Structure 1
């Protein structure tokens, strides 16, 4: 499945717009990770634990979005946007949204 932030796929024409698809990932951050992230924030470092959690959330959300596009018979998802939010109680949410499309086959 091709997923792109652009509104077209280089070398392929879009033949049909199937619909808007999305994927979500809501993940909890544990107390130890919060504590270590707090220390990193105080001393000015990066929080590898949170960066890893963001990457994991993004992968899950994009994979779920692509799976939904495939279920609709799409070849690609264009105009992909990612949104990250923090929720109460240390929860992290990632949402991937895009337009599922069918592509003209190369000859």
Structure 2
């Protein structure tokens, strides 16, 4: 059993990824009633240097979010088999997606904390470190961007 860092409830290990339970990840703490979660979902994320049809009023700060996901031995065995026979690894793709979404959500939360309306020039970086001898590895995903305040419409 693990404790969700958002709602504080104890959940089975398979229901918690990156410290957040499935319910909080999908709906926010306490079923989506959190004001901060609503504000975070309104933050615009873009890889471009501007927001179409909007003017940047001021640059607030560079922000970043990171996620480290332990790849368990069963995923590693499945991936080794995939390496031998070829094909896509669903477990690795799922882990990459979870880590990416967690990073983007982290950027949104950082932006809200700073009073930003958008994060521009978002960049995602992926890396994996194999832990020799332990039969596992760690997947790192980092997201960074520039938090900005947009001019009123």
What is the aligned-residue RMSD (CA, Å)? Answer: 0.7
In the TM superposition, residue 101 of structure 1 has moved relative to its aligned partner by 0.2
**Deviation readout 1:33-79 (Å, 9 max, x if unpaired):** 10001111111111110010000000011111111111000000000
Within the alignment, does 1:55 sit opposite 2:97 as a pair?
A: yes
| TM score, norm. by length of structure 1 | 0.96
- Across the two proteins, how many residue pairs are aligned to each other? 106
- Larger RCO (CA within 8 A; separation ≥ 6): 1
Alignment of 1:69-88 (within 5 A): 69-88=111-130
In the TM superposition, residue 88 of structure 1 has moved relative to its aligned partner by 3.4
The one of 45, 51, 74 aligned to 1:3: 45
CA contact (8 A) 1:41 1:47 kept: no
The one of 23, 36, 40 aligned to 2:82: 40
Q: Where does structure 2 lack aligned partners over 5 or more consecutive residues?
A: 1-42, 132-136
Q: Where does structure 1 lack aligned partners over 5 or more consecutive residues?
A: none
Partner of 1:93: 140
| TM score, norm. by length of structure 2 | 0.68
Q: Secondary structure at the match of 1:88?
A: strand
- Runs of 4+ in structure 1 off by over 6 angstroms are none
Between the aligned partners of 1:18 and 1:66, the Cα distance in structure 2 is 14
Within the alignment, does 1:103 sit opposite 2:121 as a pair?
A: no
